[in-house]
Amino acid sequence: MPKSSLGRWYGLAALVIVLDQLSKWVVLTTLNYGDAVTVTSFFNWVFVFNRGAAFSFLADQPGWQRWFFTLLALGVSGWIGWMLRQHLAERLLCFSLTLIMGGALGNAIDRLRFGAVVDFVQVHAAGWYFPAFNVADSAISVGAVLLAWDQIRRKPVQGNPDSSVS
């Protein structure tokens, strides 16, 4: 396994973490908690904490979810590190897993620092508001979509288990 290839993926994960933490630092230093600044007719810059996971899942729990999601992010990141070593030649797979790892670790840092994740991007239209999110969430989402695409395109063609769509 060429270490330079593995280093490239870890470097990308580190870049996601840095961009995530830098963007959250900007929010923490420019907005007060609960502030919302209208940027466009469909986008607000906000400062909220999410004590749960995606879409505030388990946010109403008394605090155990902080440690659960932190340990989950660390465990998934460890598994991704192992997967990267096993599949270095598969660029899309490595790219998608790296985005997920960088996002998971970016949000884990928040959970350790604040007990919650800093969210600041709010998209809305016609009175409907999508839950606020951040750079780490975006990286996880893009990584998950690319991972699904990578797996779908590998699926054997119906009736011929030896072929795959490339």
Please identify every residue annotated as catalytic: 119, 137
3-30 and 64-86 helices cross at what angle (nearest 10)? 150
DSSP designation for 51: S
Provide the residue type at 73 as one letter: A
**Entry field: residues in the chain:** 166
- Dist CA 120 CA 98 (whole Å): 23
38 three-class SS = strand
Short-list 87, 69, 34, CA closest to 140: 69
